[in-house]
Structure 1
Amino acid sequence: NPVDGPNPYDNELFMANAQDFVKRIRNHPSIGIYVGRNEGNPPPYINDSLYAMLPILHPGIHYIPNSAGGVVSGGGPYRALPPRDYYLLYGNNKFHSERGMPNVMTYESLAQTLPADKLWPQNSQWGLHDYTLASAQSAASFNAMIEKAFGPAKDARQFTEWAQWINYDGYRGIFEGRSEFRRGMLLWMSHPAWPSMVWQTYDYYFDPTAAYFGCKKASEPLHIQWNPVWDDIEVVNYHGGNRTSLTVKAQLINMDGSVQWEKETMVNSQEDSTIKGFKLEFPESLSSVYFIKLALIENGKLVSDNFYWRGKEEGDYKALHQLPKVNLTAKTDTHKSGGEWLLTTTLKNETATPAIMIRLKVNGSKSNERILPVFYSDNYFFLMPGEEKAITMKLQNVDTRGEKPVVDISGFNL
């Protein structure tokens, strides 16, 4: 029971159940740690008994009494925050056991979850799927961030598309904000038990939202990032080995694709370290919304990159609506081997306008219905003028329902 729940009234019965439970799960490959109580300490007798029992039944696996205190930190927060705030939160110098924020699913998943007449405006059906305006997830603050960023949404499709910007930026910030001490972070939670719009990175239907790719980007073994508290460009080495002569490069790019400022330097990076490359400088010529493009290069090869959007008024990206539409050049190579499909889509922006928040989706060639699950090398990305990027997608033939998989490409200004 959590700390606000009742203590067991029969200690011996509790311990007998605990022994049976450990024996049942101890051979599971994903056991990492045993915890006595959620967000609190168990009664002394049970705590002492668990300390004595676990080294015998499951040697080598650590036990702690409290999931959110003592040697670890916990307790959220669970609502959406500006990325900068995650650098300043409590618990940075300990392993943090719970943090999360709303994660609005894609429009396709929302349409599969709610009746058509309940898709928009937001209503109690959204609340039944955990998008409650108050409580720990505070979806009202998520709504406010979207409205400040892009204005009022006209329908559910537009809202879910704009929500991916907040999903990506927030979940990336949750992990990038841990870079100073690198003590580890667990998301609350993982896979939902039914269609939900909070605390996940992929949804009930196995469709990854932009949050998944924000987490993936921030958790690279060797990673380049912008620290929005100090405006430093940092190289974070979690477990990338000791590296020397890395080139750190940053560009500030206007909405018209023009580079307004750039700088690079050389650094060495030791494993389990965060080092500063240089500080960004912001010229007066920057547009009302601009982009921060980062690259980490080793022996001429790109080993990490990152891309941020920023408004001169913090959180306001409405000027992006002025961007012209972009037609990307795209080619997809499709290969089937045994029971697996491998698709590689190469996209190039041959226009003079940035192409932003590009999303790839795999559909069936006949039904045009999405195929799930699909493992994407990247998604929800940006292409500056002249840039090219290849995305790989892997899926199982059994999930295609007998159709040939095809790639659908969309984006904010496509």
Structure 2
Amino acid sequence: MLAVEVYAPTDTDLAITFVDWNPAPPDKEMGLWRDVYFATSGPVAIRYPTVLTHFDSPNNDRAHLTVTALLKNGSNQPVKGTLNGKIENVEFVQDVELASGESKDVTFEPEKFPQLNLAKPRLWWPAQMGTPNLHDLHMEFDVNGKLSDKSDTHFGIREVTSELNANNGRLFTINGKKILIRGGGWSSDMMLRENSQRLQDEFRYVRDMGLNTIRLEGKLEHEEFFDLADRQGILIMAGWCCCDHWEHWARWKPQDYDIAKDSLQDQIYRLRSHPSLVMWMNGSDNPPPPDVEEMYLNVEKQARWPNPVVSSATAKPTSVTGESGVKMTGPYEYIAPSYWTEDAKSGPHHCNPGGCGGAYGFNTETSPGPAVPPVESLRAMLPDDHLWPIDDYWNYHAGGGQFKTIQVYTDALKARYGQADNAEDFGFKSQLMGYEGIRAMFEAYSRDKYTATGVIQWMLNNAWPSIIWHLYDYYLRPGGGYFGAKKAMEPLHPVYSYDDRSIWLVSSQYQDVRGLKLTARIYNIDMAEKFSKEASLDAAADSTNKVFDLPELQDLTPVYFLVLRLEDTSGKVVGSNFYWLSTKPETLDWEKSNWYMTPTASYADYTELRTLPKIALKVISRTERKSEDSVTHVTLENPSKSLAFFIRLKVDKGAGGEEILPVLWEDNYFSLLPGEKREVTATYRAAELGTAKPSVEVKGWNVASQ
């Protein structure tokens, strides 16, 4: 029997916290929350087997593998034995001696074991770049011909490197190819509950949006999380947390140094074998002082951490490693869509070390502000008698510190879209705000790669039902921000630049495409066409190119629309975008910038959208079964001469039933031009239907509900 006595952590313990993300759990996460298990072996156990990769540059067609594992002699006698390894049909063996109670890293170097030099192997790639191929590693330790222990793990043949570009931005490469890091900050469940199905659902959302990275701040997830990232080809940024004893180095006692060192060693050993790990951060909001940073670096070197190490998530340099190559400049509060392109590295703006949040460098956490979910989620988290107007019940689901309310966001919504009449109206207008805000952020960083080298949306998800910082809410309901992100990260993507009215084409795929046609059209609110232009072009792999400028036009209505279409040689649409724009300039008060926001001096005016006539769409749907999933096909047609603006689709469990979640919509919150017809699909687990039949629900800004 093993008895464990636990205490609630205090502010002087190296524990975990949720900072300002959400309320602290009442028990402060005391106790054991991961699986506890015992493993048996002979006198020698194999721990943390790992395969490291180095390529011949620049061709990267030959991989040199280093295999290493920690051996632990649990007996009180010296032991002699053999460590055997096998990777597919490649075998290697080494004699080992261990003293009584000794733990030792044993390594197979490719210089001594030439069979570990592989020509043109199957590589592990992030999903955006290729296939995340995995290989099996089998290891055994024998003593006197008898098996003492064995292990079976998987690994990826891949190499991650980074360098500082001319602007001191940290640029990452995978297997010698550049990658623009685009991701979101992960939050564990507030009660640290683990749910395998939910985890898989959230990773499907990450891939569906086109994100390639998840950032972990302090909460280093369980093995299933990292195994899933390996298989799905999602990169993971990992490191310590901010704002608690982990960064209160001046208050550390001798035992804190020991705990921090041992904790880091355990995590580096545990994580080093996962091909999904792209970097480790030794600090978050601050870099560690020199003695702590040197201690951390020694641990990482001894444990053969194979990936880049960054001193912190900020641009604060250190005397040990110099420039970090990243910035943590915010914003975290509502920000106008033009912010990301107006702020430039060479400009006069200052928010934090590293500048402001504009599209340059590597921004480790940033956001266009609160993320109010659709009304269904508001109804789930708020009591009926506090659903409207906004009150302290709403604010309880906001954040801490400067983020205890969503007043800045609410003021912006009212100025831009008009006073909300009720929770449903406020929730729908919030999806407009989320869509344009998130899209603008990711588009700006994509347009400006590789002056911009990375951006992490703060956050990806929430620990509990929340009205701030997410791309999908706690109930796994994707809203406007989700589809703004998905639109911004489509593989071939036409982009409008808010700063100079230019049109760009961004390719996020790693193949050249020739014979494309990009069309831009501008319409007044009555759908009178005011401008049209076409351009023929090619898109090189992983490229960004300016195509043309839009002219200044006269006689535009206060709200007007920009439609971008990208077609291939067959006429198939391979990229698109739809912007609603205002003739009233949206300006920023840069002089009042601080660490978490830049105030808006004057707002765009979209209130003319209220004049759009009501439209009844033609809707046809059918559902088919594909393995464990159901796929609902929805065909929509706009028979009117007006725009059908910001259409939202749901699939319910029968007419009037609950929305089926999670769900992967091919597209949502989109608009249809007069006479336009379009089919989109929704994919979800068939089991979620139960005995009900799927029922499609259609709503929109000016679309009759059906």
TM-score, normalised with respect to structure 1: 0.94
Task: Quote the offset at 1:25 in angstroms.
Answer: 4.2
The answer as to whether partners of 1:3 and 1:37 remain within 8 angstroms in 2 is: no
1:27-46 → structure 2 map (5 Å cutoff): 27=273, 30-46=276-292
Indicate whether 1:123 and 2:123 are aligned. Answer: no
Task: Quote the offset at 1:207 in angstroms.
Answer: 0.2
Give the equivalent residue in structure 2 for 1:359.
648
Give the equivalent residue in structure 2 for 1:257.
527
The answer as to whether partners of 1:102 and 1:131 remain within 8 angstroms in 2 is: no
Once the two structures are overlaid, the 10-residue window that deviates more, 111-120 or 19-28, is 19-28
SS in 2 for 1:37: coil
Give the equivalent residue in structure 2 for 1:22.
268
The answer as to whether partners of 1:3 and 1:40 remain within 8 angstroms in 2 is: no
Q: In structure 1, which of residues 354, 372, 394 is the aligned counterpart of residue 683 of structure 2? A: 394
The answer as to whether partners of 2:261 and 2:299 remain within 8 angstroms in 1 is: no
Task: Quote the offset at 1:26 in angstroms.
Answer: 4.3
Indicate whether 1:93 and 2:360 are aligned. Answer: yes
The answer as to whether partners of 1:356 and 1:413 remain within 8 angstroms in 2 is: yes
The answer as to whether partners of 2:268 and 2:305 remain within 8 angstroms in 1 is: no
The answer as to whether partners of 1:346 and 1:391 remain within 8 angstroms in 2 is: yes
The answer as to whether partners of 1:78 and 1:99 remain within 8 angstroms in 2 is: yes
Indicate whether 1:205 and 2:475 are aligned. Answer: yes
The answer as to whether partners of 1:254 and 1:287 remain within 8 angstroms in 2 is: yes
What is the identity, as a one-letter code, of the residue corresponding to 1:120?
W
Indicate whether 1:77 and 2:331 are aligned. Answer: yes
Q: In structure 2, which of residues 238, 243, 253 is the aligned counterpart of residue 9 of structure 1? A: 253
Once the two structures are overlaid, the 10-residue window that deviates more, 288-297 or 45-54, is 45-54
Matched-pair identity in %: 31
With over 3 angstroms needed to count, the CA separation of the structure-2 counterparts of 1:413 and 1:366, relative to structure 1, is closer
Give the equivalent residue in structure 2 for 1:368.
657
Q: In structure 1, which of residues 329, 332, 353 is the aligned counterpart of residue 618 of structure 2? A: 329
- How far apart, CA to CA, are the structure 2 residues paired with 1:254 and 1:40? 49
1:179-328 → structure 2 map (5 Å cutoff): 179-182=447-450, 183-299=453-569, 300-314=571-585, 315-328=604-617
Give the equivalent residue in structure 1 for 2:374.
106
- Identify unmatched segments of 5+ residues in structure 2: 1-240, 316-323, 344-355, 586-603
What is the identity, as a one-letter code, of the residue corresponding to 1:159?
F
The answer as to whether partners of 2:264 and 2:299 remain within 8 angstroms in 1 is: no
The answer as to whether partners of 1:355 and 1:413 remain within 8 angstroms in 2 is: yes
Task: Quote the offset at 1:58 in angstroms.
Answer: 5.3
- How far apart, CA to CA, are the structure 2 residues paired with 1:46 and 1:129? 36
With over 3 angstroms needed to count, the CA separation of the structure-2 counterparts of 1:360 and 1:279, relative to structure 1, is same
Indicate whether 1:154 and 2:394 are aligned. Answer: no
Task: Quote the offset at 1:131 in angstroms.
Answer: 6.5
Task: Quote the offset at 1:304 in angstroms.
Answer: 0.8
- Computing the radius of gyration from Cα coordinates, the structure with the larger value is 2
What is the identity, as a one-letter code, of the residue corresponding to 1:9?
K
Task: Quote the offset at 1:246 in angstroms.
Answer: 2.2
What is the identity, as a one-letter code, of the residue corresponding to 1:23?
Y
Q: In structure 1, which of residues 145, 151, 154 is the aligned counterpart of residue 412 of structure 2? A: 145
Per-residue CA shift, 1:48-81, capped at 9, x if unaligned? 2322322443542221111122211113101121
SS in 2 for 1:32: strand
Q: In structure 2, which of residues 667, 671, 676 is the aligned counterpart of residue 382 of structure 1? A: 671
With over 3 angstroms needed to count, the CA separation of the structure-2 counterparts of 1:58 and 1:355, relative to structure 1, is farther
SS in 2 for 1:321: helix
The answer as to whether partners of 1:104 and 1:197 remain within 8 angstroms in 2 is: yes
- How far apart, CA to CA, are the structure 2 residues paired with 1:145 and 1:387? 32
Give the equivalent residue in structure 1 for 2:306.
60
SS in 1 for 2:577: strand
Q: How many corresponding residue pairs?
A: 413
RMSD: 2.0
- How far apart, CA to CA, are the structure 2 residues paired with 1:111 and 1:27? 43
What is the identity, as a one-letter code, of the residue corresponding to 2:579?
Y
What is the identity, as a one-letter code, of the residue corresponding to 1:14?
A
Once the two structures are overlaid, the 10-residue window that deviates more, 399-408 or 342-351, is 399-408
Per-residue CA shift, 1:318-342, capped at 9, x if unaligned? 1111111111111111012342101
With over 3 angstroms needed to count, the CA separation of the structure-2 counterparts of 1:166 and 1:131, relative to structure 1, is farther
The answer as to whether partners of 1:40 and 1:66 remain within 8 angstroms in 2 is: yes
SS in 1 for 2:282: strand
TM-score, normalised with respect to structure 2: 0.56
- How far apart, CA to CA, are the structure 1 residues paired with 2:680 and 2:304? 43
- Identify unmatched segments of 5+ residues in structure 1: none
What is the identity, as a one-letter code, of the residue corresponding to 1:84?
S
With over 3 angstroms needed to count, the CA separation of the structure-2 counterparts of 1:188 and 1:344, relative to structure 1, is same
What is the identity, as a one-letter code, of the residue corresponding to 1:384?
L
Task: Quote the offset at 1:209 in angstroms.
Answer: 0.8
- How far apart, CA to CA, are the structure 1 residues paired with 2:644 and 2:510? 31
Per-residue CA shift, 1:110-136, capped at 9, x if unaligned? 00100001111111111110168x815
SS in 1 for 2:261: helix
